[in-house]
Amino acid sequence: MSETGFYLFNWVIVTMGWMAGIVMLVLCIMFVHDIMQTRHAVRRNFPVIGRLRYFLERQGEYFRQYFFAHDREELPFNRATRAWIYRNAKGLGGIIGFGSTMDLREPGTVIFVNSAYPKLEDECTPAPPKVIGPQCEHPFIANRIFNISGMSFGALSAPAIRALSLGSAKAGIWLNTGEGGLAPHHLDGGGDLIYQIGTAKYGVRDEQGSLSDTRLRDVARLVKAFEIKLSQGAKPGRGGVIPAVKVSEEVARIRGIAPFKASISPNRHREIRSADDLLSMIQRVRDVSGRPVGIKCVVSSEDFLATLCEAIRHRGPDCAPDFITVDGGDGGSGAAPQVLADHVGLSLAESLPLAVDTLIRYGLKERIHVVASGKLVTSADVAWALCVGADFAVSARGFMFAMGCIQSLQCHKDTCPTGITTHNKRLQKGLVVRDKAERVATYAHWLNHDLDVIAHACGLSNAREFRREHVRIVQSAGRSVPLSILHPYPSYEPLRSVPASHLAEMK
């Protein structure tokens, strides 16, 4: 061995000795710490080795989605659904080979009724736009069926909001601001915006936290409509929540709150205690802004909407909301208490027919547009909602997937690995705004396009012609029932006098 080789060999041996010594020292420190601490029984009884339990537990949720869960098993969104969105967002199309992995025997599966004589392309017409609030000073012409649901700046990063803004403008769809106020990033694309007024009234409140007419007028010049949020699918009965780690100085400035402190909205609007109060607030926002005004709510029974419809009958249809966004209890892109996310609020499969039927019974379906929200991320999901009676559908998580979300379930931790829900500048670098904006637009385009593809297969000219008889719902293996039988269209109830006792309750 040469002299150089001898010295190199000795250096390697000495270095390895030092490294081994450092490792042993670290292990000894961990050993002593584990047997002295009192919080974790596993680590106290099995020092050092017991730490693997917590590490493996954290890794489990990531490994399951890649190696162990079936394509159709995982929640909240399975791998097959995510892959469909990824392909469409990249413009690769939703083409598969050798058959579907969808289990058509599973209860709740949606099956559309194909026509023996489907429409040819040259026989079809595009789905026409709908006018929201035609009686308003500034009506909103909504051109597309599928649009972007409310996601606040703060919950989402600045690059993500910019990508949504640019993508929505290119696709000709609307973007809901979420309750966090109107950020400059929302305006980058110059597309249609719906401003959401949450219970904290971020962006449109005065110094005391009350609704400000002056700020409403300022915002109204930049948006197409307003949405008063009563509740959302992730946490019905709880206001919006952003952990302190995500309340950056920019987020705090836009919301008008202190930075680096948790942003927690009240459970409800303080001035809304009844249906009559709600209609008064709707009318106030509409009068001040000249824009259409709707509400967003989670529906858990017929009582809320029936009482609201009775109040509208009493005051006149002009006071009605211009649209109602029905959010399913299975929705939610933001931070939420698990007990509310798991156990409060009906799923959209149950609440949407209930809401539509109530409006039909009171003769208000033509006056009030219905927007469906809650896990509607594929063309089949949205087509089902149209069959039930929705006029539009919106999605939040679908567009997050389009931007590259990998469902790492870290939205509330400011550690999102794709840069979508974090304010960490290093992680945000992974989100290239122009590229993701293109994917947002492409996903929206193909989903709206595929709605008409399903409609043509059913013998319809476009997706606006869907009705309940065009879809069947699987009840058990080998047996499905038309939606029109599960949820038959109700009859209109003629105007009747409202009992004084009922009016007293509404007030």
Binned at pLDDT 50, 70 and 90, residue 59 comes out as low
CA distance 44 to 306: 58
Residues 126-168: pLDDT tens digits? 899 999 999 999 999 999 999 999 999 988 999 999 999 999 9
- The answer to whether residues 379 and 451 touch, using CB atoms and an 8 Å cutoff, is yes
Interatomic CA distance for residues 224 and 141, integer angstroms: 9
Note whether residue 85 is domain-resident.
no
Contacts of 329 (CB under 8 A, 6+ apart): 233, 236, 298, 300, 344, 345, 346, 347, 348, 351, 374
**Helices (DSSP H) in 37-180: which residue ranges?**
41-45, 51-63, 79-89, 158-171
Are 134 and 41 contained in the same domain? Answer: no
Question: Do 308 and 376 fall within a single domain?
Answer: yes
- Beta strands in 286-351, from DSSP E residues, in sequence order: 293-297, 323-327
Give the position of tokens 């659904």. 81
In a domain, 325, yes or no: yes
Kindly state whether residue 73 falls inside one of the protein's structural domains. no
Token pair of 356 as six digits = 């539509």
| Three-state secondary structure string covering 211-228 | ECHHHHHHHHCCCCEEEE
Per the structure, the count of domains in the chain is: 2
Q: pLDDT: is 374 or 177 the higher one?
A: 177
Does some domain include residue 86?
Answer: no
User: Residue 240: what pLDDT?
Assistant: 75
Task: Answer whether residue 438 is part of any domain.
Answer: yes
The answer to whether the predicted template modeling score (pTM) of the entire model surpasses 0.75 is: yes
- Does residue 84 contact residue 94 with C-beta atoms inside 8 Å? yes
Classify residue 90: in a domain, yes or no.
no
Same domain membership, residue 136 and residue 60: no
45: containing domain: 3-68
What gap in Å lies between CA 373 and CA 371, rounded to an integer? Answer: 7
Q: Which two tokens stand for residue 119?
A: 């429409």
233 assigned to some structural domain: yes
169: pLDDT strictly greater than 70: yes
Are 206 and 298 in a shared domain? yes
| pLDDT at residue 505, rounded to an integer | 45
Q: What is the mean pLDDT of residues 463-472?
A: 96
What's the one-letter identity of residue 160? A
Distance from C-alpha of 466 to C-alpha of 102, rounded to nearest angstrom: 23
Q: Are strands 471-476 and 479-482 parallel, antiparallel or unpaired?
A: antiparallel
Return the closest-CA partner of residue 113 out of 459, 377, 463. 459
Alpha carbons within 13 angstroms on the beta-carbon side of residue 35 total: 7
Q: What confidence tier does 506 reach under pLDDT thresholds 50, 70, 90?
A: very low
4 pLDDT more than 80: no
In a domain, 108, yes or no: no
CATH number at residue 192: 3.20.20.70
Please tell me the predicted confidence (pLDDT) of residue 500: 44
pLDDT tier at 504, thresholds 50, 70, 90: very low
- My answer on whether 44 and 158 are in the same domain is no
Place of tokens 């967002």: 89
Tokens of residue 212, six digits: 């400000």
Q: 485: how many CB neighbours lie within 10 A of its CB? A: 11
Share of the chain above pLDDT 70, in %: 89
**Helix or strand holding residue 482 (H, E):** strand 479-482
- Mean pLDDT over 440-444 rounds to 97
Q: Which amino acid is at 246?
A: K
What average pLDDT does the chain have?
87
Report the alpha-carbon distance of residue 263 to residue 178 in Å, rounded: 14
Q: For 329-367, how does the pLDDT look when each residue is reduced to its tens digit (9 = 90+)? A: 776 656 666 777 667 778 899 999 999 999 999 999 999
Separation CA 351–CA 354 (nearest Å): 5
In this prediction, residue 99 carries a pLDDT of: 72
The CA distance from 90 to 83, in Å, is 11
pLDDT category at 114 given cuts 50, 70, 90 is very high
Compute the C-alpha angle 434/440/444, nearest 5°.
Answer: 150
Return d(Cα 507, Cα 503) in angstroms, integer.
6
